[in-house]
Structure 1
C-alpha cells in the first residue's frame, strides 16, 4: 500500500482507506460524528462495524470502476480525517473533492495537504479538466479549504438539499487545470512533495 507524507511538522500520512480499515474507521467516525454529522452523510451511516465496512466497500467498488476514491489521513498512526473523490468522471474530465476531519486532525494543514495531492492527481496525472468542491454554505471550514486550494466560487444553489431535516444552500467551487498549473499552491505543493 502507498502512503504520502502530509507534513514536515507532524507525523502524518495519506493512505487509501479500505474495507479492512472498518473498525478503525468506525472508531474515527465515533470521535468525529458530532463534528461531521451536520454536513456529511456517511458519518450517520457508519454506526457499527458492518455499516462502516459497507461504506468503505462502496468506495472500493467505485474505485475499481474509476468513479470515486477515498483516502484516510493518519496522524501518528491514528486515523483523524480524510479526503475523497465522491465523484470522479474521467470521460467528462471532472472530479469532485470532499474532506472531513475529527478535532485531532483539524488546524494542522493535513486536510489541505491531502486536497493538493488529489488536485495534482486529477488534473495533472489523470488529465482531467476541472475539480469541483461542493459544500453547505454553513460549512465555513470546508469553504476555507476550497479557498486555500485556489478554487473559485461558481454558484450558490439556494435550499438545494436536505440533510438531517435541514435544507442547506449548496456552494459549488471549482479549479481548472490551467489555473492549477499556474498557481502558487501547486508550486508550494511540488516543493513540499520533493
Structure 2
C-alpha cells in the first residue's frame, strides 16, 4: 500500500489489519503519556479495539473523509498521524497526531506533518490546514509553531479529560501562506 519516506530511518504508511497487535502494544506501553492529552487510550483495551480503529480509518479513506496512517521509525511503529476529516466545501482539514514517548525528540511528527501539508495543499488542493491541541500541551504546540502555522484562537474548557477541563488552541495555515513559505 501507500508509503511515504520521512527520512532515512522513518516513513508513514497506511495502517493495515496486520498492524493491529503492534499498534495495540505501542498504545498500551505508552498509555499514561498519551492519555494525558488524548482520550482514545481510555477506549483501547484490547487488540480488537485497534482492529476496529484500523477498519474505521480505512472506511474513512474509502469515503474520502480523512484517514490515519502509522509513523514508523527503524522498522517499528512509533505513532500515528491523520486527517481528521475533509471539508470539501470549505476546502480544509485538520491534522491530528500522537507519538509514543519513546520516539519523542526525533522530529518525526514535524516531518510527517510537513508531508501531510504538502499533500493537502498540492494534491488535494485544500485551502486551509488546522492543527489543534490542549493549550498546556507544549510539546505538541511546538509542531505547528515550527512549521509556521498561525495561532488563531483558544476555546476554553473544550474537553473534559481525566477529571479536568482542557482549553484547546487552534493553529491554521492557508494554502497561500504555505506556497509563499520558504521550503527547506
TM-score, normalising length from structure 2?
Answer: 0.95
Matched, 1:7 2:7: yes
Distance 1:59 1:4 in 2: 18
Q: Could you tell me which residue of structure 2 aligns to residue 158 of structure 1?
A: 156
1:28-78 CA distances to partner (integer Å, 9 max, x unpaired)? 101221111011122222220111111121111111111121011111111
Partner of 1:45: 43
Q: 2:25 aligns with which of 13, 21, 27?
A: 27
Q: Distance in 2 between matches of 1:40 and 1:160?
A: 12
Once residues 18 and 88 of structure 2 are traced to their aligned partners in structure 1, the CA distance between those partners, rounded to angstroms, is: 27
Unaligned 5+ segments in structure 2 are: none
In the alignment, the residues of structure 2 paired with residue 81 and residue 74 of structure 1 have an alpha-carbon distance, to the nearest angstrom, of 7
Q: For 2:93 and 2:17, locate their aligned partners in 1 and report how far apart those are by CA, in whole Å.
A: 22
For structure 1, the 5+ residue unaligned runs are 189-194
Quote the offset at 1:90 in angstroms: 2.2
Mapped to 2, the partners of 1:86 and 1:2 lie a distance apart of 18
For this pair of structures, how many residues does the alignment match?
Answer: 184
Residues 84-129 of structure 1, C-alpha deviation per residue, up to 9 Å, x if partnerless? 1112222320100011111222111111110011111111111011
* CA 1:40–1:19: 2 relative to 1, 3 Å: farther
Name the SS for the 2:7 alignment partner.
coil
Structure 2 partner of 1:122? 120
**TM-score under structure 1 normalisation?**
0.90
Secondary structure, in 3 states, of the residue corresponding to 1:25?
Answer: helix
CA RMSD for the aligned pairs? 1.2
